[in-house]
A and B are shown apart, each in its own frame.
Chain A
């Protein structure tokens, strides 16, 4: 694994238990080591703008961004809004991954240009299933826009 390929999936999630469950699910397809976790909206933006800890990272956008809505400091909505307003970033596919089934939230995020909205199922099997499908689709099946991190070709 090189620095080049790190961070094809940016997971923005403040709850470490959810992070663990998500990584567990992704691990089944060996996608876990391509994930960068940002525990709040600010760090997510730092990552995207190569700021702070991420100043040195490779100049490429993630293939997909899994975004929780309820986040400390900068909320998921705010992150979404900034990305979609930025010419460089707006092509990044964003999947909202949240506990909320509120219509209001769905409507607001779609309004901001989100690519998918997934409600985290309570049932673990369903949860794992959902995450796996997401990871495989966005990080493997889907061709990301140019300038994004490419899938690692098997050596």
Chain B
């Protein structure tokens, strides 16, 4: 413990008490001094005979003391001035009594003095009241300001000249200027405020309704542009005159930016959706509840509903979808693999059914809710054609089976003919012969001739059957194709038929022939028939000419055999290639009428055509086209 410290403190307390007393004393001293100076001045003036003014200075002394001093010095100066007035200036002078003539004067003097002191006291009291009120108000305002500082909103007040008079903590934080920086500055210059509408209109609305709300663009202390949602309220005074504007602002820059981003995304999406509209494929989006959320033009064209009608509907209900598998399985696959492909049947708005090749793909939107994109192609027509083709194929298969079975029947028939039809003929011929032998003696010439005719008829019947069987064999036999050297083949055939034409005068002209692709044995039969015919039908010519050559028609090689024989009437040209069709009597030219039919059958089997030109007694030309010749090259 330091006793000296206590002593020192006591000294300080004492010192302040002393100074307080000294201050009080100074008040009284000033009062006395004032009165003394006023007395001196009055006495001095009196010496120079300014009597009427004498004593009035004392009033000034009282007034000054009362103005600056407190109640004590005021009363002291009052009393002193009254005493001095009485003693020095009231008759009889230098006494404390007052002559009757001076009494009113003294009373007035005293009353004025008292009034001066009283006024001063009143003034002092009013002043104290005012000070007190002002202090209270100040505290209140500060309290309120600190409340405003609690909010994160930026709040500032500006007067009607847009000069900032208040600036809260939120404004400091948001804009970056301190209160000291901001207060007193013109608000719009500071913030470079950009209004959403002309400022005159804005002000007019504010004056009319006392408030305005809107979005403003402003610049903060860092020079960055910010966007705020601003609310303005107008303050009016007691006379209803506008005095200030309270501006509360929220920073919505980030929100705005997000909105802009979303808008940009939406625009991008809209662009993409417009692109989706370009395709003829039907494209729809649906959420996991099956509700349609997007419906492109292709979907409208395919199903008949427009987007407004379709969106929001359950797609499977709207389209009466028929699935190829249970929907749960399809959805399971979609969720597992993200995609599903398949054929669906849908019903259009007009009630007709369509078959579509559909692809479902799973996508997730921003809210991570899965959506399904369903792209579909109308394959009804394709499916219908496929069905038709299938049906046709089925028919074809049936026909082929029928053909096969009738071919087999034909084969059995031909077999039967081959075996059984010839036997009776053989017997007819044989036993007629035997009859002729055993009864030769007893038969006359006529009967002999009849027997001969029977035998010849049987023999001819036999060769007809043989030819017919050969012809049918051509249809039934398989073709064994290879590259055939036609030059060589013609050489062989001509050499063979020449044996039958010994002693005939025939001029042969054989041109070079191409190789071709075909069944050699069958083509040999063709040549044998054609060349054989040429020899046969030139028999009546003393000088026969036979030409074998090659020409072209429609790009296909055409083989021809030309002769200068008896020819034929073109009016029967279409009959030439028929079975058992003959244009000449049996007596003139033998034959069964099956040779050209065989030629035609073989050429048809090779994909070619046969035709002939000729005139009666003017020779004939037989043509066969062989498209397969080209393949041999």
Contacts and interface: CB of A to CB of B under 8 A. Distances in A.
A103 interface: yes
A99 B433 CA distance: 19
B276 interface: no
Nearest to B421: A99
A123 B503 CA distance: 28
Contacts of A85: none
Given A99-B419, A127-B430, A122 B425 contact: yes
A104 B124 CA distance: 155
Nearest to B425: A122
A18 interface: yes
A101 B469 contact: yes
B473 interface: yes
A32 to B, nearest CB: 14
B591 interface: no
A125 interface: yes
Given A99-B426, A101-B469, A124 B418 contact: no
Contact of B422 (A21, A24, A69, A122): A122
B423 A101 contact: no
B427 A21 contact: yes
B98 to A, nearest CB: 186
B473 A122 contact: no
A151 interface: no
A87 B429 CA distance: 41
Given A17-B431, A18-B423, A99-B423, A122 B462 contact: yes
Nearest to B434: A24
Nearest to B436: A124
A98 B419 contact: yes
B426 A102 contact: no
A103 B420 CA distance: 16
State the majority secondary structure of interface residues on A. Answer: loop
B419 A122 contact: no
Contacts of B418: 99-102
Contacts of A24: 434
B419 A124 contact: no
B373 interface: no
B310 interface: no
Interface in B456-512: 458-459, 461-463, 466, 469, 473
Given A122-B458, A122-B459, A123-B462, A99 B430 contact: no
Interface residues of B, number: 25
Contacts of B462: 121-123
B323 interface: no
Contacts of A122: 422, 425-426, 429, 458-459, 461-463
A150 interface: no
A27 B621 CA distance: 53
B415 A101 contact: no
A99 B422 CA distance: 7
A120 B455 CA distance: 16
A15 interface: yes
A18 B463 CA distance: 19
Given A99-B420, A103-B473, A124 B415 contact: no
A17 to B, nearest CB: 5
Given A101-B469, A124-B433, A15 B423 contact: yes
B626 to A, nearest CB: 25
Nearest to A125: B433
Contacts of A133: none
Given A100-B415, A100-B418, A101-B469, A123 B429 contact: yes
B427 A17 contact: yes
Interface string B404-422: 0000000000110011101
A18 B419 contact: no
A84 interface: no
Given A101-B466, A101-B469, A103-B473, A120 B434 contact: no
A118 to B, nearest CB: 13
A70 interface: yes
Contacts of B433: 124-125
Contacts of B426: 18, 21, 99, 120-122, 124, 127
Contacts of B469: 101-102
Contacts of A99: 418-420, 422-423, 426
Contacts of A21: 426-427, 430-431
Which of A24, A100, A120, A127 counts the most chain B CB atoms within 10 A?
Answer: A100
A123 B461 CA distance: 10
Contacts of A18: 423, 426-427
A133 to B, nearest CB: 17
Given A17-B427, A123-B459, 4 more contacts: A21-B431, A24-B434, A123-B429, A123-B458
17 contacts: A17-B423, A17-B430, A21-B426, A24-B434, A69-B419, A99-B419, A99-B422, A99-B426, A100-B419, A102-B418, A120-B422, A120-B423, A121-B426, A122-B422, A122-B426, A122-B458, A124-B430
